[in-house]
Amino acid sequence: MAEIILNSAITILIAAAFMTTATAALRGENRALQRVPVRAKARRHPKG
């Protein structure tokens, strides 16, 4: 019984971590697309 409970707990933790990572990635894509041009401009100013 203990093994079943531990395996279930581990499975739930892995699923929760996967969902958290997937959600963060989906939210991060939109932010990354907006941040990349800003970083590119910031790099050009010191060179000029």
> In the predicted model, is pLDDT for residue 10 greater than 80?
yes
Q: What is the mean pLDDT of the chain?
A: 77
> In the predicted model, is pLDDT for residue 33 greater than 60?
no
Tell me the percentage of the chain whose pLDDT exceeds 70: 58
Q: What is the pTM of this model?
A: 0.51
Alpha-carbon distance 35 to 22, whole Å? 20
Q: Determine the pLDDT at residue 16.
A: 96
Query: Residues 4-27, buried b or exposed e (16+ Cβ, 10 A)?
Result: eeeeeeeeeeeeeeeeeeeeeeee
